[in-house]
Structure 1
Amino acid sequence: MTDTLPTYFISHGGGPWPWLPEMRRMFANLEASLVKMRAERPKAVLMISGHWETEEVAVMSSAHPPMVYDYYGFPPETYQIVYPAPGAPKLAQRTADLLSAAGHRVHLDGKQGFDHGTFAPMAVIWPEADMPTYQLSIRKDYDPATHFAIGRALAPLRDEGVLIVGSGLSFHNLRMFGPEARVPSEAFDAWLGQALALPADQRTAALLDWESAPYARLCHAQEDHLVPLFVALGAAEHDKAERVYHDVMLRGGVTASSYRFH
């Protein structure tokens, strides 16, 4: 493959939503945006999920990753979900080598499984579960500059058939899902769209200083679901941003967006 693949930052929705009819209807617009990602036709998908945190960067290396049910209060059957996509051990090693060469401490993890930040959107994008898929952790320090640098180190994978996807949410405050989220999430989402439309150097500077955005810490009291954006954008730092999903969801309160960088 010679074409350079885009990267994505997706708002991945709530818990095991594709398996719950009411939630699936609520996320109909998100589902439509995810389905369009099938057109990329990569050799494999590298997912950076906000649900896997480590002290140093880790790369999932299992040939057959297990499942991680990292959600609470859902029906019993959602803890039996299996998304049996194959892993990508050779690409995991390649990914670790790129990170190591760039000076990052990194290790392979042969036990880590797919969390819902990966298996929920992937079940919509590739329901046949035949796309090799592996994950990269985010660092517990959440440092924006470090995660931009991680993304830069991974950029060569785009020319090697790997689709890099940051999976989080542009708004993530579990104590504020509902009408009270309308004003802060709209304001932060508007800032994000404006920041991503800036020229590359200004865009990077704006994202590094994301805490200066309106309602930043109200929308991301803990920025685990924003950090995947830094990696996805670091791998496509000079590419344009295209908003591919925008919605007001969850009882009319939360504004959320997803982006494609190409």
Structure 2
Amino acid sequence: MTLPSLFIPHGGGPCFFMDPAGGPPDPMWRPMQAYLAGLIESLPERPKAILMVSGHWEEDTVTVHAGDGHPLLYDYGGFPEHTYRLRWDAPGSPEVAARARALLEGAGFPVGEERARGWDHGVFIPMMVAVPGADIPLVQLSLRKDLDPADHVAMGRALAPLRDEGVLIVGSGMSFHNMRAFGDHATGPADVWDAALVDAVTDLDPARRAERVAAWERLPEARFAHPREEHLLPLMVALGAGGEGPAVADYRDHVMGWAVSGFRFG
């Protein structure tokens, strides 16, 4: 059975785990938490592994993490002390890492490999919600520092065969990510951007969809939404991996005044 590919929001820092007693997060984050909590159950079958691209890892060449991702990389600052002791101890998958590398190299992409880096919060924070038992192996793949959108779509296309092999491909970022724009003054432009992005991503013609999303800077309020686009590039990978299948926006909510969407492909 073919699994979809996903683009998910990963929230802000350790937003779902701010209560040291394990209580629910700020009400603002609860719809996103509920969406993430239902991801695995929403799939046609439980994945044998997850391949995840986070907006928090960039390398000169696309790089695959071939080890286990713990100890975790707590790449956020200014949060309560207990959030620097969070755990998500899922295993890695050297086999899936090798397969991903082979597929990318077969498509002409130079690929690096490393084993020591911890999984960043773009991985472990949403996965602590989606896979609380940490019982699905995970492989992380980096973005490429040039952030070329068409090449990241092509990377996703190269990885698409993994969907038929029981691997869930997940892009983890935020559809809106301007850390200087909060509250009511951000809502109007964020809504305009989100509507345009959803329209492009869900275009019924897969080729036109890819072209429109790769040309994201032409959409209204694009640079307001993403002064730098590292949190949007995981969407390109997920879209490319989705192939010719349908694309749907299966999550939308407002946080910090921002319209935030998640997408499912295939």
TM-score, length of structure 2 as denominator length: 0.94
1:231 to 233, 237, 246: 237
2:32 to 30, 33, 39: 30
Local SS of the residue matching 2:156: helix
- Matched residues in 1 for 2:28 and 2:98: separation? 38
Shift of 1:64: 5.2
Find out whether 1:17 has 2:15 as its counterpart.
Answer: yes
Partner of 1:254: 258
Partner of 1:60: 65
| 1:11–1:168 Cα contact (<8 Å) kept | yes
Residues 80-123 of structure 1 show CA distances to partners (whole Å, capped at 9, x for unaligned) of 11211111111101111111111101011111211111101100
Shift of 1:180: 2.0
| 2:69–2:117 Cα contact (<8 Å) kept | no
Local SS of the residue matching 2:39: helix
Shift of 1:209: 1.1
| 1:187–1:215 Cα contact (<8 Å) kept | yes
| 1:18–1:123 Cα contact (<8 Å) kept | no
Q: Any stretches of 5+ residues in structure 2 without a counterpart? A: none
Partner of 2:157: 152
| 1:200–1:237 Cα contact (<8 Å) kept | yes
TM-score, length of structure 1 as denominator length: 0.95
Local SS of the residue matching 2:133: coil
Partner of 1:243: 249
1:75 to 55, 75, 80: 80
Local SS of the residue matching 1:235: helix
Local SS of the residue matching 1:15: coil
Partner of 2:55: 50
| 2:69–2:119 Cα contact (<8 Å) kept | no
- Matched residues in 2 for 1:126 and 1:4: separation? 20
| 1:65–1:87 Cα contact (<8 Å) kept | no
Local SS of the residue matching 2:50: strand
User: Structure 1 residues 113 and 214, CA, compared in 2 at 3 Å: closer, same or farther?
Assistant: same
Residues 117-169 of structure 1 show CA distances to partners (whole Å, capped at 9, x for unaligned) of 11011001110111101110001110011101100110010011100000000
Following superposition of structure 1 onto structure 2, how do residues 202-221 of structure 1 map, counting pairs within 5 Å?
Answer: 202-221=208-227
Find out whether 1:94 has 2:99 as its counterpart.
Answer: yes
| 1:29–1:245 Cα contact (<8 Å) kept | no
Residues 175-198 of structure 1 show CA distances to partners (whole Å, capped at 9, x for unaligned) of 112222101110110001111221
Local SS of the residue matching 2:242: coil
- Matched residues in 2 for 1:194 and 1:64: separation? 35
- How many residues align? The count is 258
- Matched residues in 2 for 1:7 and 1:178: separation? 31
- Matched residues in 2 for 1:55 and 1:192: separation? 27
User: Structure 1 residues 91 and 186, CA, compared in 2 at 3 Å: closer, same or farther?
Assistant: same
Point out the more displaced range, 151-160 or 195-204.
195-204
Residue identity over aligned pairs, in percent, reads 48
Residues 3-59 of structure 1 show CA distances to partners (whole Å, capped at 9, x for unaligned) of 110000011111112211474532111111112211221001111000001000001
Q: Give the counterpart letter for 1:212 in structure 2.
A: R
User: Structure 1 residues 24 and 131, CA, compared in 2 at 3 Å: closer, same or farther?
Assistant: farther
